């Protein structure tokens, strides 16, 4: 049964978006936060000293500046990044983020998260992340295409199907990946189109993408939520959901949960926050955002502030926007049983401490949003083998991988008496340790 009612708009429509979203903590050093998690997990599993020195730092930090001619005829110079954290488990892998506030510290943290995520979920990839510091919504489609192509060209042979494989993240999507792939293929044609299609994942199906990739991250979040619900005798039917960020991850999570009888009552994005106690029609809202770029102006919801959003009476909160959104204040306001991290790093340490104190469960990012990279791996395998899997193949494999990841996290948390987050890092580090111990340090 689906709870996408929305037949009766709330009384005070039409809505007006008023809130300017703030951050959970002004001084948030994302990379340091991840280092602290690594240290805690390393202490727990008694990771050898040499690995404590190697693993926190990225292997390569690539920064490029490149010019692009805008529609006006002016030339603008853009700054792009690709951080390659670790590739002991396989080629570097990670998203491309186009965002005006993206910077080196975030990309280093996000690249590192990819290493732990791939290790935890058992995907033979390393960790990377990159992107461009700009707001894609402020540029035309033609400008976005030229910016993407010029960036991929600037990265040159630093990326490739056997070395480093980008994917979509905030501000990028299927179209960006199609341009990225086409640029790479055209500038590296001696190896052949077919092989080089695997240089990026998250492509449209028509140009070598896989069925199930667009919804994969949201689908993975939902598998984690259902697993948690099963273990806690928590009937999802009739429960209320709040989602921050209604892009790829947030919207697919909400749509898929609506099939399980979970009703989306509060939603927010970079333009503001909306409330509908009757439940949003998640499909209609997703469609609206596709056409309009945000939730702003959506007719069937009442605008309210970011502070009011965090105080909504609900059961599940899925942060699916950016890092550092749940600080101590937000954690004290939340009225839910479960936080499932669709975004990377949405809960800061102060926020997590408050959630723990209040008995609110957290499903951590490196497991909860690992569905994306898992299905990216399936896409890469299909590209290499020139195969096309059915949606059932993809869905079944993903569910198995997510449930296995959850089980490993749960077992280790139980063994060490630690949080789910630290357990995820511990599982990831154990696997990396095994590889380093057998391969040794070159030369």
The distance of closest approach from Cβ of residue 226 to ligand NAD in the complex, given in angstroms and rounded to an integer, is: 18
> Look-up: residue for tokens 């919804």?
215
> Look-up: residue for tokens 């910016």?
147
Please identify, using beta-carbon distances, which residue of 21 and 161 lies nearer to ligand NAD: 21
The distance of closest approach from Cβ of residue 136 to ligand NAD in the complex, given in angstroms and rounded to an integer, is: 9
- 3-class DSSP state of 326: strand
Q: Which residues are catalytic?
A: 129
CA angle 382, 387, 389 (to 5 degrees): 80
The distance of closest approach from Cβ of residue 217 to ligand NAD in the complex, given in angstroms and rounded to an integer, is: 4
- 3-class DSSP state of 238: coil
Please identify, using beta-carbon distances, which residue of 197 and 270 lies nearer to ligand NAD: 270
The distance of closest approach from Cβ of residue 147 to ligand NAD in the complex, given in angstroms and rounded to an integer, is: 16
Please identify, using beta-carbon distances, which residue of 152 and 370 lies nearer to ligand NAD: 370
Compute how many other C-beta atoms are within 10 angstroms of the C-beta atom of residue 13: 13
The distance of closest approach from Cβ of residue 21 to ligand NAD in the complex, given in angstroms and rounded to an integer, is: 3
> Look-up: residue for tokens 């110079």?
77
Quick check: 346 and 323 in contact, CB under 8 A? Answer: yes
> Look-up: residue for tokens 């340490």?
349
> Look-up: residue for tokens 């980008």?
166
Please identify, using beta-carbon distances, which residue of 91 and 372 lies nearer to ligand NAD: 372
Q: Give the residue closest to ligand NAD by C-beta.
A: 247
Please identify, using beta-carbon distances, which residue of 100 and 142 lies nearer to ligand NAD: 100
Half-sphere exposure at residue 240, Cβ-oriented, CA atoms within 13 angstroms: 16
The distance of closest approach from Cβ of residue 419 to ligand NAD in the complex, given in angstroms and rounded to an integer, is: 20
Q: Return the exposure string of 151-190: e unless at least 16 CB atoms fall within 10 Å of the residue's CB, then b.
A: bbebbeebbbbeebbbbbbbbbbbebbbbbbbbbbeebee
Dihedral angle of Cα 300, 304, 307, 313, to the nearest 10 degrees? -40
**Residues engaged in binding ligand NAD (CB under 6 A):** 21, 168-171, 217, 244-250, 268-270, 294, 320-322, 342-344, 369, 372
Please identify, using beta-carbon distances, which residue of 47 and 200 lies nearer to ligand NAD: 200
Helix (H) or strand (E) holding 69: strand 60-69
The distance of closest approach from Cβ of residue 350 to ligand NAD in the complex, given in angstroms and rounded to an integer, is: 18
Please identify, using beta-carbon distances, which residue of 249 and 363 lies nearer to ligand NAD: 249
Q: How far apart are CA 98 and CA 134, in angstroms?
A: 6
The percent helix, strand, coil of the chain (3-state, each to 5) is 50, 15, 35
Please identify, using beta-carbon distances, which residue of 42 and 249 lies nearer to ligand NAD: 249
Q: How far apart are CA 198 and CA 211, in angstroms?
A: 15
Query: Residues with Cβ < 8 Å from 365, sequence gap 6 or more?
Result: 113, 117, 341, 342, 343, 344, 345, 346
DSSP string, 343-369: SSS-B-HHHHHHHHHTT-EEE-HHHHT
The distance of closest approach from Cβ of residue 218 to ligand NAD in the complex, given in angstroms and rounded to an integer, is: 8
Q: How far apart are CA 25 and CA 347, in angstroms?
A: 10
């Amino acid at each position: 049964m689906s709870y996408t009612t929305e037949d009766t708009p709330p009384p005070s429509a039409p809505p007006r978006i008023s809130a300017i979203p703030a951050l959970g903590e002004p001084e948030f050093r994302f990379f340091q936060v991840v280092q602290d998690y690594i240290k805690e997990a390393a202490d727990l599993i008694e990771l050898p000293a040499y690995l404590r020195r190697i693993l926190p730092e990225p292997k390569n930090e690539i920064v490029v500046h490149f010019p692009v001619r805008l529609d006006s005829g002016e030339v603008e110079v853009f700054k792009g990044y690709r951080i390659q954290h670790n590739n002991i488990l396989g080629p570097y892998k990670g998203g491309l983020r186009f965002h005006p506030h993206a910077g080196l510290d975030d990309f280093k943290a996000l690249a590192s998260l990819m290493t732990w995520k791939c290790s935890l979920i058992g995907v033979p990839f390393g960790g990377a992340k990159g992107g461009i510091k700009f707001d894609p919504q402020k540029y035309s489609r033609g400008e976005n295409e030229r910016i993407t192509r010029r960036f991929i060209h600037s990265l040159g042979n630093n990326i490739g199907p056997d070395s480093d494989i980008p994917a979509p993240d905030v501000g990028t999507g299927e179209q960006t990946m199609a341009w990225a792939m086409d640029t790479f293929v055209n500038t590296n044609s001696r190896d052949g189109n077919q092989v080089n299609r695997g240089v990026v994942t998250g492509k449209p199906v028509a140009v070598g993408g896989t069925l199930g990739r667009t919804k994969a991250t949201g689908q993975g979040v939902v598998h984690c939520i259902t697993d948690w619900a099963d273990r806690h005798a928590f009937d999802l039917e009739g429960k209320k959901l709040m989602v921050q960020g209604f892009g790829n991850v947030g919207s697919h999570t909400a749509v898929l949960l609506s099939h399980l009888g979970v009703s989306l009552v509060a939603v927010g994005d970079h333009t503001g926050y909306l409330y509908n106690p009757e439940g949003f029609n998640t499909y209609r809202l997703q469609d609206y955002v596709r056409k309009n770029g945000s939730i702003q102006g959506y007719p069937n919801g009442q605008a309210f502030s970011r502070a009011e959003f965090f105080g909504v009476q609900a059961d599940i909160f899925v942060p699916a926007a950016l890092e550092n959104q749940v600080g101590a204040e937000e954690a004290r306001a939340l009225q839910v049983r479960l936080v499932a991290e669709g975004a990377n790093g949405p809960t800061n340490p102060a926020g997590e401490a408050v959630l723990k104190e209040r008995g609110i469960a957290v499903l951590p990012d490196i497991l909860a949003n690992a569905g994306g990279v898992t299905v990216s791996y399936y896409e890469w395998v299909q590209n290499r083998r020139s195969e096309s899997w059915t949606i059932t193949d993809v869905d079944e494999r993903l569910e198995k991988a997510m449930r296995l990841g959850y089980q490993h996290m749960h077992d280790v948390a139980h063994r060490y008496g630690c949080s789910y987050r630290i357990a995820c890092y511990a599982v990831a580090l154990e696997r990396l340790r095994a590889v380093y111990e057998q391969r040794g340090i070159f030369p």
